[in-house]
Structure 1
Amino acid sequence: MKIAIEVQRIFRPHKHGMDVVAQELLKRLPMEEDNIDYHVMVKRDSDKCISTTQNRIVHMLRKAPYFIWEQYLLPKACTKIKADILHCTANTAPLNTNLPLILTLHDVIFLEQNNFKSHASWYQRLGNVYRKLLVGRIAKKAVKVITVSAFQKRLIVEKLGIPAEKVEVIHNGVDPHFFDKLSTETLNRTLKRYGVQRGYVFFMANTDPRKNTEGVLNAYAKLLKLNAFTPKLLMKGISAAHLHKLLKQEDLMWLKGYIDLVDYIPQADLPAIYQGASMLWFPSFSEGFGLPIIEAMASGTPVVTSSVSCMPEIAGDAALLADPHKPNEIATAAYQILNLPLLAYKLSKAGQRRAAAFSWDATTRKTVAIYHEIEKAI
């Protein structure tokens, strides 16, 4: 059997959540004796993170705008290799294919209106429009829809009118290297490269409104007033210009000296960044899964996350939950971690136990089982 797996953007140097998920799946394919040839469909770019091996053939398609690549170049390439099944891994897929289609739909966040606030980027707006136009039609056409949390399954069934039996929940995993405790020397050397000192509050920021960056800034301002020795806030993923704009908008310019910014962090450095933190803040309004939650937990870092969306499902009882609309709750949870060492220790240990329940090997096995299920049906 030939399965074409669309992973359009995983060769880009700066990978994000869906790219990481696809890469972790491909690293583990083929599994032993699954009798499948995997044809990996990827757009040409500089980071050749997956290579051709026996039963896993990489096809580098030429660069083109996202919708042209997906709607024209991808189905053409699938026809050329005579694929039996197409698995699209990042929410959208070609409409003009007759192949049995498996769609990984990480979330239906694009249907939420808060993505269209005035400060959402044009790229985010365009992506949301594209998904709104296509995803409902594609999900109905797919023979199986994979999603990453039970919370998102409920939304997909409700909002897209997809039969529940057609939607399979397969949780993401966490790479074993996050569990490895780094030596003091390695940790300090990595943090020095980023110009930060241990103990910071870590927040993976974003220009997307759902990430709640404004709420984090207000929560951090409250924490500074609550706690005399509050560590710095380390924010990844936004520019100095965007931070300046948000601080001005929230009347929090006085916070500027308390915040450090870092750009993209490669996967190899993430364990050190988590282990160097006093805690991770992940108070998003909406997520498909929330990969940083279990990555931080595996690293032994206490987590403060949201009491809404999929976050309680993923975090279980191993994190402090806060209403993302209430900066006071985020600040109070952080204050407890900073001032109650026993609580911080318990969260660290409980987090590692919780993270151990999420395995990329299990994710891959469940995905391959779906391939075989569809094979029997065609």
Structure 2
Amino acid sequence: MPYAAIDPLPAGGDGVLNVACFANQFADAQGHGLARYARELFSSLQELDCLRVTPVAGWSALSPDVLDARRREVGLKLTGLGRRGTSLLWTFLDFPTLESRLDARVDVVHAVSLGYPVATRKPFVVTIHDLGPLTHPEFFGNTRPWVMKRSLDQAVRKADAIVCVSQSTADEVRDYVGPAVDGRLRVVLEGVSERFFAPADPTLLAGLDLPPEDTPFILSAGAVSPRKNLHGLLSAMALALDSIPHHLVLVGGDGWDGGQFERMLETPALRGRVHLTGYVSDGALRALYQAAALYVHPSLYEGFGLPVLEAMASGTPVVSSDRTSLPEVVGSAGRLSDAANPETLAGDIVAMCNAGERRAKIIQEGRAHAARFRWPTCARAMAEIYREVSC
């Protein structure tokens, strides 16, 4: 069951817990995926009077001006060890400690994801989003599963609390590592930013590859990879497009395993009706959600699946895969589909596109469902965990 948050009780000398949150995504230019989790959680943690939170990264790929601005805005700290030094020293020597690299008091260290081991002697919290490279290597390319394995081994050995973003992930962790984590697993669900409930700026869509004006479109977000199952989505769309006037808009980077994907785009059934925007800004993504007639999330493996909630918050009906964490995230507010079966997925897409008078109710239920997932709730649960481990 999700971890039940209560009002956290401050601890420490001045009544405030000093938490160092480590995530290289704090110093990343892009804002999706783990970066969104790290930044949204940090922003909500900052609103709690019982905490003083410092974002920490091992290195930065940002330009000097942008890095300086981020330091001023959020107090970002770098370990000063560099990309290679941070990785090698922490992975193989467990030294120097993160807290020794900061010029501020640290009561708790929170590793926001399983990137690689984090050297610390402080009470330690780790968030696990998924174990995909270890449990489903067929869905992941260009990864270093041995690094995740070392980080997981450290979490099992040293973490005072292991936070999972869904019950599905918690079950996966327990199945993979066994009873060693019993009593330390916590489920803290992700949230949806308030921005997705507010009207977006449609002018941000200018210049993107989109269908002609007044042509309805189906949206899907995710890089090209077996896990995201965009090949399956294209197969389903090739079957569905004879029955609906919609186009398909795909948002995301190139990913890997793109050769077959590119060939599928040239098939007669899809030619001219699939549009690729590439990576887009958060503002453009919100505008795309709100402009879309339907959002489809065909992923075969997810640790959480935040885009389905972002789409619901934006007032867009959702068809989602029924795999891993997605049923618990989607609930009854979207249509769950066997996305590995193109015929089934195509039928569900056509049914949702032809919802007619039911569309307004579907949108209302989706927005109400998404509203149950809020970052302040996530932050309060995390603050209580910090309090627990610091005692």
TM-score over 0.5 (shorter chain) = yes
Q: Secondary structure at the match of 2:372?
A: coil
Question: When the two structures are aligned, how many residues end up with a matched partner?
Answer: 361
Q: Which blocks of at least 5 consecutive residues in structure 2 are unaligned? A: 1-16
Q: Which blocks of at least 5 consecutive residues in structure 1 are unaligned? A: none
Measured in 2, the distance between the counterparts of 1:180 and 1:24 equals 16
2:100 to 54, 72, 79: 79
**What is residue 208 of structure 1 aligned with on the other side?**
225
Distance 1:32 1:2, change over 3 A: closer
- Post-superposition CA distance 1:93-139 (Å, at most 9, x none): 426433221000011112233x336xx54x23x2x332134313423
1:4 to 7, 20, 28: 20
**What is residue 210 of structure 2 aligned with on the other side?**
196
Q: Do the aligned residues in 1 keep the contact of 2:22 with 2:110 (CA within 8 Å)?
A: yes
Structure 1 runs (4+) deviating above 3 angstroms are 47-53, 68-77, 238-245, 249-254
Matched, 1:98 2:113: no
Distance 1:243 1:45, change over 3 A: closer
Q: Do the aligned residues in 1 keep the contact of 2:95 with 2:119 (CA within 8 Å)?
A: no
AA of the residue aligned to 1:84: D
AA of the residue aligned to 2:61: D
**What is residue 111 of structure 2 aligned with on the other side?**
88
Matched, 1:154 2:176: no
Measured in 2, the distance between the counterparts of 1:167 and 1:240 equals 31
- Post-superposition CA distance 1:312-334 (Å, at most 9, x none): 10111010110121111211111
Measured in 1, the distance between the counterparts of 2:355 and 2:101 equals 61
- Post-superposition CA distance 1:145-199 (Å, at most 9, x none): 01111111111111112434211111110111111134xxx42x23333242462
| Aligned counterparts, 1:126-205, within 5 A | 126=144, 128-161=145-178, 162-182=180-200, 186-187=201-202, 189-197=203-211, 199-205=216-222
2:83 to 64, 73, 92: 64
Matched, 1:218 2:218: no
Matched, 1:266 2:281: yes
Q: Secondary structure at the match of 2:206?
A: helix
Measured in 2, the distance between the counterparts of 1:233 and 1:347 equals 20
AA of the residue aligned to 1:214: H
Q: Do the aligned residues in 2 keep the contact of 1:178 with 1:298 (CA within 8 Å)?
A: yes
- Post-superposition CA distance 1:8-48 (Å, at most 9, x none): 122221233111011011112333431x4323212223255
Measured in 2, the distance between the counterparts of 1:199 and 1:75 equals 55
Comparing 354-363 and 16-25, the one that deviates more: 16-25
1:288 to 296, 303, 318: 303
Give 1:255 deviation, angstroms. Answer: 2.0
Distance 1:58 1:133, change over 3 A: closer
Q: Do the aligned residues in 2 keep the contact of 1:289 with 1:314 (CA within 8 Å)?
A: yes
**What is residue 34 of structure 2 aligned with on the other side?**
18
Measured in 1, the distance between the counterparts of 2:95 and 2:218 equals 42
AA of the residue aligned to 2:343: N
2:360 to 345, 361, 364: 345
Distance 1:58 1:238, change over 3 A: closer
Q: Do the aligned residues in 1 keep the contact of 2:220 with 2:297 (CA within 8 Å)?
A: yes
- Post-superposition CA distance 1:212-247 (Å, at most 9, x none): 11111101111123x1x4311111124499655324
AA of the residue aligned to 2:185: V
Give 1:288 deviation, angstroms. Answer: 0.8
AA of the residue aligned to 2:147: Y
Distance 1:323 1:241, change over 3 A: closer
Give 1:362 deviation, angstroms. Answer: 0.7
Matched, 1:303 2:318: yes
> So what's the TM-score if we normalise by structure 2?
0.84
Distance 1:241 1:369, change over 3 A: closer
Distance 1:100 1:286, change over 3 A: same
Greater per-residue helix proportion:
1
AA of the residue aligned to 1:68: L
Percent of aligned positions that are identical: 24
> So what's the TM-score if we normalise by structure 1?
0.86
Q: Secondary structure at the match of 2:216?
A: coil
- Post-superposition CA distance 1:65-106 (Å, at most 9, x none): 473375479844422435332110012442643322100001
**What is residue 291 of structure 2 aligned with on the other side?**
276
AA of the residue aligned to 1:64: R
Q: Do the aligned residues in 1 keep the contact of 2:221 with 2:251 (CA within 8 Å)?
A: yes
Give 1:50 deviation, angstroms. Answer: 4.7
Give 1:289 deviation, angstroms. Answer: 0.7
2:342 to 308, 322, 327: 327
Q: Do the aligned residues in 2 keep the contact of 1:204 with 1:235 (CA within 8 Å)?
A: yes
Q: Do the aligned residues in 1 keep the contact of 2:114 with 2:151 (CA within 8 Å)?
A: no
Measured in 1, the distance between the counterparts of 2:95 and 2:324 equals 33
Q: Secondary structure at the match of 2:271?
A: helix
Q: Do the aligned residues in 1 keep the contact of 2:90 with 2:118 (CA within 8 Å)?
A: no
AA of the residue aligned to 1:10: F
Measured in 1, the distance between the counterparts of 2:320 and 2:274 equals 20
Q: Secondary structure at the match of 1:194?
A: coil
**What is residue 111 of structure 1 aligned with on the other side?**
134
Matched, 1:318 2:333: yes
